Amino acid sequence: MKKTLVAIAAIGLTQVSLAQDSDAEIAKYRAALQDGNPAELWELKGEALWKTKRGSKNVSLETCDLGKGPGKLEGAYAELPRYFADAGKVMDLEARLVYCMETIQGWDTKPYFNKGAFKGKGPGSDMAAIATFIAAKSNGKPFKVDLEHPAVKAAYKTGEELFWRRSGPFDFSCATCHSTDKTRIRLQGLPNLLNKEGAATGVSTWPAYRVSQGEVRTLQHRMWDCYWQMRHPDVQYTSDAVTGLLTYLAGLGNGNEIKSPYIKR
């Protein structure tokens, strides 16, 4: 029995050591790519897509209002999600882009309401590029989502309830992995989103280039992927549920500096 306990303790120490080594190597890799982040390619593509005439109306997205006025991008991402009177609802960046594609460009957005937006199939594969281009215009600025607006308050409350709601075959919630310090899964460190440091890591650094996937991912994708890993049904792209979660997370991240596009494992 004593030998067994010693063996278990040794395995535990080995896992901790491997995890720390992994974190250190990721930090080195991130620093090495800091001046050559592959996400810059997505950013350039996003800028081209923003300016390209597309859709049935053959116009660009340059008149899309992200909250600062038509076509104004500086600092817009830092204040999203927000309430948009023309749509009558709270929207995050990608939800607003889909709205603009529908109303300004005349797109059929059905391909965006499935995994096509995440898996690189169809026109949905463009969304990460456009989102990266726009988010980069807020790089270095603090998140300042207006949580006093009644509609935003309601979305925040919905997101908070979803964050803590346990369900699914594993009885998991977002909080299962992201409400305590020094939590890991598969040796990967998980940020505690309830404290300032964790929120800075987990909220303010998207969109980000995922080294393990060779792709840029957005917060919409992060929500879908988390739900998939919890073995929940797929969340619908730009759904009110996802917007609520992103409003709650942005609220937790308020005041933190945006670092996007970032580099992640």
DSSP string spanning the chain? Answer: -HHHHHHHHHHHHHHHHHHHHHHHHHHHHHHHTTTS-THHHHHHHHHHHHHS-BTTTTB-STT-BSSSSBT--TTTGGG-SEEETTTTEEE-HHHHHHHHHHHTS----GGGSSTHHHHT-GGGGGHHHHHHHHHGGGTTSBP-----SHHHHHHHHHHHHHHH--BTTTTB-HHHHHSSTTEEETTEEE--TTSHHHHHHHTTT-SEEETTTTEEE-HHHHHHHHHHHTTPPPPPTT-HHHHHHHHHHHHHHTTSBP--SEEE-
Residues serving a catalytic function are 226
